[in-house]
Structure 1
Amino acid sequence: MIRVVDKLLLFLYSIIIAIISAVAVSVGFKWITGSLAIDAIDRLYGSNQLLLTVAIVGIVMFLISLRFFIVSLSRGTVTSQSVDQRTEYGDIRISIETMENLALKAAMKQRGVKDLRARVHATDAGMDIVLRTVVDGEASIPQLTEDIQKAVKSYVEEITGIPVTNVSVYVANIIQNNTIKSRVE
């Protein structure tokens, strides 16, 4: 939620800075004449509503600048997602990336799998693993995907000790062989 607010503030800040920059460039190249600038300033000081609007925009810009200043000084607490376990000896943290690599390792051992990607989602019950693959088309796809599911589930549970609740396999495509068979007549 905070990132969305920061992105919105950055967008607003960028728009206002772009407008101020365009005015500065226009004054610098004398596209805005001195008399036009003086008239605008006179109208600004002549209208209480306009002065209030400028003051509010100034306060908002200051607060946004202060927010960005604080964000730039704060340390990024970017921690990779992990699955945490407590044992009698202490805590164990296994990153989601490690889980994905273990799933890939187990799935690549299956014959017929050519290209593979994995996503792991940690849930309260265990892990959900989603695999996207390209196969060679030489074996039965239902049998191959079932073998992949069994292999990934047992391998990841054995290595990590964390239960795997679901292994989904999405077969994206099959590889086309480029070999040309010659015909003998």
Structure 2
Amino acid sequence: MAKIVDRLMLFIYSLSIGVISVVAILLLSGAIPYDLTYNQERQFFWAGIIVASVLFLLSIRFFYISIRRDRTVTNSIDQRTEFGDIQISVETIENLCLKAASRVRGVKDLKSRIKVSQSGLEIAIRAVVDGEESIPTLTTDVQKQVHDFVEDTTGIPVSNVSVYIANVVQAPSFKSRVE
């Protein structure tokens, strides 16, 4: 409610300042005749026109802000079922991808990106592996795990899961000390 009142006040303010600045520009430029004694020279003639012009431009900007619609972008995937609409945020799907990929043994430091296309979700997983297992086998497991988990959990078709192996880290080896 306060947002609507603020926008209404901004609308009225910008409209009134715009009208006042247009009248000031017209008066100072001589388009509207007015009677001034020549004792009051036009010493601030150009300064007045510049100030009125700046106020007019500001009022146009504020007027635009007061009437534009909010474009809050909520990145979500919308689905329609027979019971109603469902919205799942992209962040939720990214977290589901991370959860599924972390189930694969040997994968660490995961990051995910989601792209929505006509054919379904395109998922990109960035991972660091420990190097203990075959990378092709590991990436295939990650792709299958993420694909199946996201499709089963959300009901949204997954068209592509790409895996990028950023690095291989060595597993720490602990040597036992003999004393």
TM-score bracket, normalised by the shorter chain, equals 0.5 to 0.7
Residue 80 of structure 1 aligns to a residue in which SS?
A: coil
Give distance in 1, aligned partners of 2:59 and 2:136.
57
Give distance in 1, aligned partners of 2:102 and 2:139.
12
Q: Does 1:82 align with 2:80?
A: no
Aligned to 2:89: 95
**Percent identity, aligned pairs only?**
54
Query: Counterpart amino acid of 1:115?
Result: D
Aligned to 2:155: 161
Structure 1 residues 63 and 174, CA gap change in structure 2 (3 angstroms): same
Give distance in 2, aligned partners of 1:61 and 1:175.
61
Q: Does 1:152 align with 2:142?
A: no
Which range moves more in the overlay, 169-178 or 88-97? 169-178
Runs of at least 5 residues in structure 1 that lack an aligned partner in the other structure: 1-41, 46-50
Q: Quick check: which has more Rg, 1 or 2?
A: 2
Aligned to 1:116: 110
Pick 1 or 2: higher relative contact order, CA cutoff 8 A, min separation 6.
2
Give distance in 2, aligned partners of 1:78 and 1:107.
31
RMSD: 3.2
1:55 CA displacement:
4.9
Give distance in 1, aligned partners of 2:161 and 2:54.
49
Give distance in 1, aligned partners of 2:66 and 2:104.
47
Query: Which 4+ residue blocks in structure 1 deviate beyond 4 angstroms?
Result: 54-58, 72-76
1:39-50 aligned at under 5 Å gives the runs none
TM-score by length of 2: 0.63
Deviation string 1:69-91 (CA, Å, 9 cap, x unpaired) is 75379674423211111111111
1:134 to 128, 137, 140: 128
